[in-house]
A and B are shown apart, each in its own frame.
Chain A
Amino acid sequence: MLIVIIRAFILYFVIIAAVRLMGKRQIGELQPSELVVTILLSNIATLPVEDISIPMTMGIVPIFTLAVIDVIVSYISLHSRGLRRAVSGTAKLLVTNGKIDQHAMRELRFTTDDLMAALRAQQVFDLADVQFAVAETTGTITVCPKKSASPPSAADLGLSPEDTDPPVMVISDGEISYAALRHLGLDEKWVRKVVKARGCGIDGVFIMTAESASKFTIVKKEDMK
């Protein structure tokens, strides 16, 4: 029993290391190759935990081998379009100017219900409103609605609003983010000054977001109010 606990503990960190090695792509929508690696990893990891007659190395070695293969194949794919197409497939156009490509639908084994559900998920309810819809390699469908069916943009309305970066988190639960300050070109002195002006210390701030030195929002911790 104790062996199983220790093994589970070790494998937890081994899997985290392997997934970290594979990078952020692994956590988001999965490409076919990444899905295969993820399924294999989860299966391999359970074997030495469940059966203590299997050595741990028989779990750790294939986990890292698969992670390493995934990293190397993805690096080669960066430079080789052919390999990228072979490993991940290609995006396929399903709808062009409101017209469904039935051949592509049959090839992908997509039903009309699948397509309509994907369109509805992207707030498109009429096929005629679709400029084009693409089945991505991750299996999701990206829809580009016709301009006539899209809400007008600021440019369409002849407006020219200022393009600014979104606010960044400067203080989170009393902790200053120096990376955010560097991004804004500000320093700790400025933060302390504006926080003091609001009548509290850094520790008393729950959230502080800022876009610039003059545009910021401070939310105090409730027990400080």
Chain B
Amino acid sequence: MKRLCISIALLITVIAGGVWSSYYIRQADMRIQQLGSQIREKVLCGEGAAEDIDALCTLWEKHCRVLAFIENTNSIADISGEMSRLPALADADPPELVRQIDVICALCDLLSERQQPHLRSVL
């Protein structure tokens, strides 16, 4: 009976951890997508987006610390690499910055989708 109680407690912990991680990744992805749209709009309007780029980089830094416990570090490193190009592009090449933001948003979306319990991600 002791084993059954430990097992049920572990199962609850594992399920709670799974649900939390799924929720956390979704929320972080939504925030990244939101910041991405803001940057895109500002760049297309010819406004400076340095603050939003800073916010996006800071958000990603925090996010990838938690992601390291959940996701393969290769895919996190890929996005971190793309992120590191943003500050330089903000000053030098705004059209390229928009393309870079699109790439980052797509990669983050893919990463988030992979962690959601859809039939396609389960299978």
Alpha-carbon distance between A21 and B73 when the two chains are bound, in angstroms = 30
Q: Taking A61-B14, A64-B14, A65-B14 as contacts, is the C-beta distance between A72 and B7 under 8 angstroms? A: yes
- Pair B7/A21 contact, Cβ less than 8 Å: yes
Alpha-carbon distance between A55 and B115 when the two chains are bound, in angstroms = 14
Query: B71 is contacted by which of A23, A55, A64, A65 (Cβ under 8 Å)?
Result: A55
Query: A21 is contacted by which of B3, B14, B69, B74 (Cβ under 8 Å)?
Result: B3
Q: Taking A64-B14, A68-B14 as contacts, is the C-beta distance between A55 and B69 under 8 angstroms? A: yes
Contacts of B84 in A (CB 8 A): none
- Pair A71/B70 contact, Cβ less than 8 Å: no
- Pair A55/B7 contact, Cβ less than 8 Å: no
Query: A72 is contacted by which of B11, B71, B73, B74 (Cβ under 8 Å)?
Result: B11
Least CB distance from B2 to A in Å reads 10
Tell me how many residues of B have a C-beta within 8 Å of chain A: 17
| A170 located at the interface, meaning its Cβ lies under 8 Å from any Cβ of chain B in the complex | no
Alpha-carbon distance between A61 and B17 when the two chains are bound, in angstroms = 9
Alpha-carbon distance between A58 and B8 when the two chains are bound, in angstroms = 20
Query: Nearest chain-B residue to A72 (Cβ)?
Result: B7
| A123 located at the interface, meaning its Cβ lies under 8 Å from any Cβ of chain B in the complex | no
Least CB distance from B52 to A in Å reads 30
- Pair B4/A71 contact, Cβ less than 8 Å: yes
Contacts of B70 in A (CB 8 A): 55, 57-58
**B1-34 near A? 1/0 per residue, CB < 8 Å:** 0011011101100100110000000000000000
| A67 located at the interface, meaning its Cβ lies under 8 Å from any Cβ of chain B in the complex | yes
Contacts of B72 in A (CB 8 A): 53-55, 58
- Pair A21/B11 contact, Cβ less than 8 Å: no
Least CB distance from A159 to B in Å reads 43
Contacts of B10 in A (CB 8 A): 21, 64, 67-68
| B68 located at the interface, meaning its Cβ lies under 8 Å from any Cβ of chain A in the complex | yes
Tell me how many residues of A have a C-beta within 8 Å of chain B: 17
Contacts of B8 in A (CB 8 A): 68, 72
> Which B34-91 residues have a C-beta within 8 angstroms of A?
68-74
Alpha-carbon distance between A71 and B22 when the two chains are bound, in angstroms = 26
Alpha-carbon distance between A57 and B69 when the two chains are bound, in angstroms = 6
- Pair B3/A23 contact, Cβ less than 8 Å: yes
> Which A58-107 residues have a C-beta within 8 angstroms of B?
58, 61, 64-65, 67-68, 71-72, 75
Contacts of A72 in B (CB 8 A): 4, 7-8, 11
Contacts of A55 in B (CB 8 A): 68-73
Q: Taking A61-B14, A61-B17, A64-B14 as contacts, is the C-beta distance between A71 and B3 under 8 angstroms? A: yes
Tell me the B residues contacting A by CB distance below 8 Å: 3-4, 6-8, 10-11, 14, 17-18, 68-74
10 nearest CB pairs, A to B: A71-B7, A68-B7, A53-B73, A68-B11, A53-B74, A68-B10, A75-B4, A57-B69, A55-B69, A53-B72
Given A21-B7, A61-B18, A72-B11, 18 other A-B contacts at CB below 8 A? A21-B6, A21-B10, A52-B73, A53-B72, A53-B73, A54-B72, A54-B73, A55-B71, A55-B73, A56-B69, A57-B70, A58-B70, A58-B72, A64-B10, A67-B7, A68-B11, A68-B14, A71-B4
